[in-house]
Copies of this chain bind each other. A is one copy, B any other.
Amino acid sequence: MELISRMLAGEKRACARLITAVENNPEEAEKILREIHAFTGNANVIGITGPPGAGKSTLTDKVVKSLVDEGKKVGIIAVDPTSPYSGGSILGDRIRMQDLALNPNVFIRSMGTRGQLGGLSKYTKNALKILDAAGYDYIIIETVGVGQSEVDIVKTADTILMVMVPGLGDDIQSIKAGIMEIGDIFVINKSDLFGADRTATEVNMMLDLTMSMERRPPVVKVTASKNEGIRELVSEIKNHIDYLKTSGKLEERRKNNMKLEVVELIESELRKIVISHTTSENKLESEVNKIINKEKNMYEVRDEFLRTIKE
């Protein structure tokens, strides 16, 4: 496909068009992803997550600039509805981001958060593969750290940055449950605000209490808006990438992610089979009527459908 050759040559517009094609047409998606598979697996994927208002977009902005200054190519996938990349946030932010978007070594893509969230996770992974094949050295996935689906998305990353801000208070508690453990680097943003030291201490204490860690995640204080601490943060990101590579964890993570993806692919194919079976001749409609009239229970109906699928 000509578009793929142009994308592999690093053309931004070809990249954008391929991502759109992959989003809009599942068959096209499969064709494209089969073709580019051989070119993937080289990018360092960084996930940036945290509550709304933590300043993730400003942080992304500064980290990207720092990497670009080193001559790196950086892709950004924004899944965060409050991100200026996705059309959220205030005007000033958005103008700043457009500035970044004009840089030939930066590619920005925002993902809608409407509709099926499971689908969103799939689209994000597919967009990631395209940017990876296109030769972006770093790919940043920015997402709010709330629901399970956002966690699933950010788990695709090799290095996960948990962004927090001073004065979250009880929020640290709520973030702790299920999301804290996925952080590879903890970033206290807006460190010029009152309470930054206390927040850092709280995060450090919490990390010390977590026994099962093979690697103790660092806590980095930054003030993204003033570009303070970004150099240290980028250096911690690189340390983590080195750690992943030398320890074999990178391979392990990517293998686990790929296992999940294969299982999801199989399930999605089977789902299509289920849908075609159940929708044929209003079979589901009539069976559900029987369930509601108490002639059958839902397990009996399930078993009957399974028999026809297996035939």
What is the interface of chain A, defined by CB distance below 8 A to chain B?
30, 33-34, 37-38, 41, 81, 114-117, 146-149, 174, 177-178, 251, 254-255, 258-259, 261-263, 265-267, 269-271, 274-275, 278, 284-285, 287-289, 291-292, 294, 297-302, 305-306, 309-310
Contacts and interface: CB of A to CB of B under 8 A. Distances in A.
Given A38-B294, A259-B285, A262-B288, 5 more contacts: A258-B298, A262-B278, A262-B305, A263-B278, A266-B278
Given A251-B292, A262-B291, A284-B262, A269 B306 contact: yes
Contacts of A266: 274, 278, 302, 305-306, 309
A259 B274 contact: no
Interface of A is mostly: helix
A260 to B, nearest CB: 10
Nearest to A301: B262
A292 B41 contact: yes
Given A147-B146, A147-B149, A292-B251, A265 B178 contact: no
A297 B33 contact: yes
Contacts of A302: 262, 265-266, 269
A143 to B, nearest CB: 13
Nearest to A298: B262
